[in-house]
Amino acid sequence: MSEASPFRIVAVELDEKTVVRRTREIEQEREIAIYDLLEGNDFQPDGSEGGPYKLVLSISESRLVFDVRLEDESAHRKVMLSLTPFRRVVKDYFVICEKYFGAIRNAPLSQIEALDMARRAIHNEGSGLLKDRLKGKIEVDRDTARRLFTLICVLHLKG
């Protein structure tokens, strides 16, 4: 989608009231995901006439909430997804990221590359799952799903 498309996110906010302090690496991943998402995305809520949209992501009562607003902050729609299908892949992603970030400091290049490949594979699995779970509610392209999955992982970091 081009920047002129009305089916795009122009602002994103994470409802982080339950998020604990993050590591530098996690904070950097969050910043990059938001930057990349805003630079280019394809986000089409089913039946919507278009945005652009502001997206507020949150977790409420074991549900992932996509609070889709119009650019002027007016309510557009909310989409809620059960977190249950995401639990395993998010947990696996955190485990592999921890190993990857630890390996960057002192592991041989071959081990870092192997962990990075595993990290990307799990991330692809999570973003594919997100895309499937949103089907019929919000259509997103592959890159948008990847960036949203990163932000969903950040929301899982709770005290």
Residue 159: the pLDDT is: 35
What's the structural domain count of the chain?
A: 1
Count of C-beta atoms within a 10 Å radius of residue 135: 11
Tell me if 1 is assigned to some domain: no
Residue 93 domain-assigned (yes or no): yes
Please list the ranges in the chain whose pLDDT falls under 70: 1-3, 16-22, 157-159
The answer to whether residue 111 is domain-embedded is yes
Query: How do residues 100-120 score in pLDDT, each as one tens digit?
Result: 888 988 899 999 999 999 999
So what's the pLDDT on residue 50?
A: 87
Q: Is residue 94 part of a domain?
A: yes
The per-residue pLDDT for 21 is 59
Q: Does residue 3 belong to any structural domain of this protein?
A: no
Domain region containing 70: 9-155
**pTM (2 d.p.):** 0.86
Q: What is the DSSP letter of 19?
A: B
Is 4 part of any domain?
no
Residue 67 to residues 13, 16, 57, 76, 143, Cα–Cα distance (Å): 10, 14, 6, 8, 20
